[in-house]
């Protein structure tokens, strides 16, 4: 097997905030061979940009934890000091088209000078030569030489995006990170840019990390796909596998949420919202939204109580739930329930047990109950231990406990 050009192992990036640590990148690993493209796909706030920034060591001041291995061209560049990293890796080895970069071009500087800038900074070559190379780079992205003399406001969105792509290529990197490079463009211009990226990949022998929330675009360009959820890679593997036979329930839901032309079926949606990364859920981070969660997936007592309360207030379900006066979490996996005075505690425990047995296929959180025990004045409910699933599978991997029994 060829050595990967980029091998990211157990990457972690947490930010310090007043609310607590934001677990933006939490143990992300993937490898990219020369000439391959990996699409990192995920909802807003899932940690895609943070992953890219941590590969390029572009860190804000409020970093709390930053660790892992980034092996580029056979060297663990996390070991490099900042100067060496800047000289060898950033822009020369791995470059990036930033999210929204086309709107961040300097309005007062001609485009040619902006494209030439990295050459002057990194190689200290003279301005005339840099200007010639900038024109050459603009040519590679399909822009004529006279564009170099224009200011950004004289260009269309598509042309500006080509300019920032030219900037990312000027130092001839091996890997280019493209962070949502087409999300601000109309569909035709998007297609043109994607076609340009495909051509450049072949002519310049590039590897891409293509960041997007658009599964259609990802399928256009990607050899590999990494599905990012709540700071973690929950499924990673060849595009033809992940897109056709997704293993992770979240990937399945994402694919089903894409509207299809000529299909009678309404697009699916994913209930709920992604978790707060200052307090990621225990166990599998997707369990609060997962349609097939079960015993091992990791409900905590406070989450369980929230779900019971939701059932209690819904017109459809309120009569199903045994009458409860109060609930509280004893610890993360145990809750105490005080019934409304109406019979004995043992009778209430019986009603609760039947409710759990009958309705757990519909209300999946009920599957997390390990035991129900009568105490003097309350019923004690113990939940199964929460355990985060590792990436499981041979041909490609996903982090879901359902795959544990060889279902990979």
Ligand X SMILES: Nc1ncnc2c1ncn2[C@@H]1O[C@H](COP(=O)(O)OP(=O)(O)OP(=O)(O)O)[C@@H](O)[C@H]1O
Residues within the interface to ligand X (CB under 6 A): 15, 17, 22, 24, 42, 44-50, 60, 62, 99, 213, 277
Query: Which is nearest to 113 in space by CA: 95, 97, 133?
Result: 133
176 counts as binding ligand SF4 under rule CB under 6 A: no
Query: Which is nearest to 307 in space by CA: 354, 261, 355, 347?
Result: 355
Give 58 or 292: the residue with its C-beta nearer to ligand SF4: 292
Dmax (CA) of the chain: 91
Give 224 or 297: the residue with its C-beta nearer to ligand SF4: 297
Cβ distance 234 to 400 under 8 Å? yes
* Contact window for ligand SF4 (CB under 6 A) among 86-94, 183-191, 224-232, 285-293: 285-293
**Cα distances (Å, whole numbers) of residue 139 to 94, 114, 135, 143:** 21, 15, 6, 5
Supply the minimum distance, in Å, between the C-beta of residue 45 and Mg ion: 8
**Which residue's entry shows tokens 């840099």?**
130
What is d(CA 198, CA 253) in angstroms, rounded to the nearest whole number?
A: 28
201 counts as binding ligand SF4 under rule CB under 6 A: no
φ, ψ at 20 (rounded to 5°): 130, 180
Give 67 or 129: the residue with its C-beta nearer to ligand X: 67
- Residue 274, classified by CB atoms within 10 Å of its CB into exposed (0-12), middle (13-18) or buried (19+), is buried
Give 50 or 300: the residue with its C-beta nearer to ligand X: 50
Binders of ligand SF4 among 330-389, rule CB under 6 A? 389
Containing 133, the helix (H) or strand (E) segment is: helix 127-140
Give 374 or 408: the residue with its C-beta nearer to ligand SF4: 408
- Contacts with Mg ion, 245-284, as mask; x by CB under 5 A: ----------------------------------------
Give 15 or 210: the residue with its C-beta nearer to ligand X: 15
CA atoms within 13 A on the CB side of 277: 20
49 counts as binding Mg ion under rule CB under 5 A: yes
194 counts as binding ligand SF4 under rule CB under 6 A: no
Which of ligand X, Mg ion, ligand SF4, none does residue 10 bind to, with CB < 5 to 8 Å depending on kind? none
* Contact window for ligand SF4 (CB under 6 A) among 207-215, 220-228, 292-300, 369-377: 292-300
Q: How many CB atoms lie within 10 A of CB 34?
A: 15
What is d(CA 223, CA 307) in angstroms, rounded to the nearest whole number?
A: 40
Which of Mg ion, ligand SF4, ligand X, none does residue 389 bind to, with CB < 5 to 8 Å depending on kind? ligand SF4
* Contact window for ligand SF4 (CB under 6 A) among 253-261, 267-275, 315-323, 395-403: 395-403
Question: Which of 155, 297, 369, 378 is the binder for ligand SF4 (CB under 6 A)?
Answer: 297
What is d(CA 242, CA 258) in angstroms, rounded to the nearest whole number?
A: 15
- List interacting residues with ligand SF4 (CB under 6 A): 248-249, 284, 286-287, 290, 292-294, 297, 389, 400-402
């Amino acid at each position: 097997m060829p050595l990967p050009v980029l091998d990211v192992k157990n990457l972690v990036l947490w930010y310090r905030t007043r609310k607590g640590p934001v677990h933006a990148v939490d143990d992300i690993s993937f490898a990219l061979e020369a000439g391959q493209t990996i699409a990192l796909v995920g909802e807003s706030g899932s940690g895609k940009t943070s992953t890219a920034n941590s590969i390029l060591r572009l860190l804000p001041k409020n970093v709390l934890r930053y660790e892992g291995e980034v092996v580029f061209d056979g060297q663990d560049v996390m070991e490099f000091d900042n100067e060496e990293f800047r000289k060898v890796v950033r822009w020369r080895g791995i470059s990036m088209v930033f999210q929204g970069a086309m709107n961040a071009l300097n309005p007062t500087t001609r485009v040619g000078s902006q494209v030439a800038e990295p050459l002057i900074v990194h190689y200290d070559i003279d301005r005339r030569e840099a200007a010639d190379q900038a024109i050459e780079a603009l040519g590679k992205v399909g822009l004529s030489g006279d564009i170099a003399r224009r200011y950004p406001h004289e260009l269309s969105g598509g042309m500006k995006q080509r300019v920032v792509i030219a900037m990312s290529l000027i130092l001839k990197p091996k890997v280019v990170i493209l962070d949502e490079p087409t999300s601000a463009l109309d569909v035709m211009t998007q297609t043109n840019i994607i076609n340009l990226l495909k051509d450049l990949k072949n002519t310049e022998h590039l590897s891409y990390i293509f960041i997007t929330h658009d599964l259609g675009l990802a399928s256009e360009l990607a050899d590999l796909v990494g599905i990012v959820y709540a700071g973690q890679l929950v499924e990673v593997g060849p595009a033809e596998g992940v897109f056709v036979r997704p293993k992770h329930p979240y990937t399945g839901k994402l694919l089903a949420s894409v509207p299809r032309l000529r299909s009678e079926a309404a697009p699916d949606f994913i209930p709920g919202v992604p978790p707060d990364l200052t307090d990621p859920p225990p166990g599998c981070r997707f369990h609060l939204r997962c349609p097939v969660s079960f015993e091992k997936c990791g409900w905590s007592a406070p989450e369980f109580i929230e779900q019971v309360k939701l059932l209690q207030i819904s017109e459809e379900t309120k009569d199903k739930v045994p009458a409860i006066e109060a609930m509280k979490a004893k610890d993360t996996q145990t809750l105490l329930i005080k019934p409304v005075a109406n019979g004995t505690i043992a009778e209430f425990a019986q009603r609760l047990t039947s409710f759990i047995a009958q309705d757990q296929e519909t209300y999946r959180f009920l599957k997390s109950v390990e035991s129900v025990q009568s105490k003097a004045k309350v019923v004690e409910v113990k939940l199964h231990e929460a355990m985060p699933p590792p990436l499981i599978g041979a041909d490609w991997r996903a982090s879901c406990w359902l795959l544990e029994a060889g279902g990979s």
